[in-house]
Amino acid sequence: MPRPRRSEDLIVRIARLRYEQRLPQTEIARQLGVSEATVSRCLKTALDLGYVEIQVAAKAFRDADAEQRLKRTFGLVHAVVVEERPGGTLDILAKATARLVEDVVETGDAIGVSDGLTVAAIAEALRRPAARDLDVVSLVGGVGAPEEPSHSSEVCRRAAAGLGARAWQLPVPAIVDDDAIAAVLHDTAAVRAVFDRMRRVRVALVGVGTVSRDATIFRQGLVDESLAGEIRARGAVGTICARFFGPGGRPVGTGFDDRTLSIGLAELARVEIRVGAARSPGKAPALRAAIEGGLLNAVATDTPTAEALLAAA
């Protein structure tokens, strides 16, 4: 027999008072004029009916020891390290990093985001913070199909939706065919406005890649994958926002620098909080170089990657 609507309304109301407003059961009973036993039964029913879901917070899976060692060793302002969990590490890392972003943003801030699967997962996990009047800015043009969750415009849109912010998407490819096209696009009002907004970014959240054929710009065909070996030969160990760098965060020039539409490494280094998100021990050399070069002053990663980074120090 269906539960009466009035009964369902009471269950939901009690659940919201308990879990959203965090009122004690005695206060809920007093406000609604019901017994504490009724409140207790309604809360149990809310769980049984799926109106309330209880999860272990991502904070419970953070590796506090590794976080402190990273901060101490590399002078980082923030470190998020989560334990490796079969099938669930990315989700936990995304939620833990999202909580960090929500904590550090201030009213009026601009938050810059790159593309990539890890940054996309973090964007999806963001929730509205106490800060207001926020902007989210794409730091790199698009790579791959626009509807892909990892595309920079989609990352920007989702992050802005979660934070209750305005989205400043960069409506161009990350790398175009020649310098003249890049110059024309950069001078259009829509693109110029986004680059102007990049200069206001206070918190940047960027993915860190290696120089391999698996890197997004090679895999998606923006740059011929045969160039990966040539760029490595020039000393490149990592990439952020389609810009390549070597040991010590030193920029490594490529034949497509002038046709790359993204934040420059020098400009990134001027952002106050620069969070690099990466999961793979193989990315430890890139992370270390970016940290040592001042491109990053915060990291979001898992325990195996953190240990590889610390071992290389």
**Per residue in 234-271, pLDDT tens?**
999 999 999 999 999 999 988 888 999 999 999 999 99
The residues, ordered by sequence, that sit 6+ positions from 39 with a Cβ below 8 Å of its Cβ are: 14, 18, 25, 28, 29, 32
User: Domain residues of the chain, as ranges?
Assistant: 5-48, 58-311
- Average of pLDDT values for 93-114? 96
Q: Hey, how many other C-beta atoms are within 10 angstroms of the C-beta on 35?
A: 10
Q: Does the structure show a pLDDT above 80 at 54?
A: no
Q: How far apart are the first and last CA of the chain?
A: 65
* pLDDT score, position 1: 40
Q: Does the structure show a pLDDT above 80 at 219?
A: no
- For residue 6, give the amino acid letter: R
The string of pLDDT tens digits covering residues 167-206 is: 999 999 888 888 999 999 999 999 999 999 999 999 999 9
* pLDDT score, position 156: 97
**Closest listed residue to residue 305, CA positions, set 283, 281, 285:** 281
* CB 201 within 8 Å of CB 137: yes
**Closest listed residue to residue 231, CA positions, set 219, 245, 217:** 245
Q: Which CATH number fits domain 58-311: 3.90.550.10, 1.20.120.160, 3.40.50.1360, 3.90.1150.10?
A: 3.40.50.1360
The string of pLDDT tens digits covering residues 265-304 is: 999 999 999 999 999 999 999 999 999 999 999 999 999 9
* pLDDT score, position 58: 63
Distance of CA 71 to the CA centre of its chain: 19
Three-class SS state of 142: strand
* pLDDT score, position 6: 56
Confidence of residue 50 (pLDDT cuts 50, 70, 90): confident
Q: What rounded mean pLDDT belongs to the chain?
A: 90
Place of tokens 């369902």: 8
- Average of pLDDT values for 63-84? 96
Confidence of residue 224 (pLDDT cuts 50, 70, 90): confident
Q: Does the structure show a pLDDT above 80 at 145?
A: no
The string of pLDDT tens digits covering residues 14-41 is: 998 988 788 899 999 999 999 999 999 9
Stated as kind and residue range, the H or E segment containing 246 is none
Confidence of residue 75 (pLDDT cuts 50, 70, 90): very high
Side-chain half-sphere CA neighbours of 226 within 13 A: 0
* CB 172 within 8 Å of CB 191: yes
> 16 — phi, psi (to 5°)?
-70, -40
- For residue 166, give the amino acid letter: R
Q: Sign (positive/negative) of CA torsion 104, 108, 114, 119?
A: positive
CA distance 109 to 89: 29
Question: What CATH class does 5-48 carry?
Answer: mainly alpha
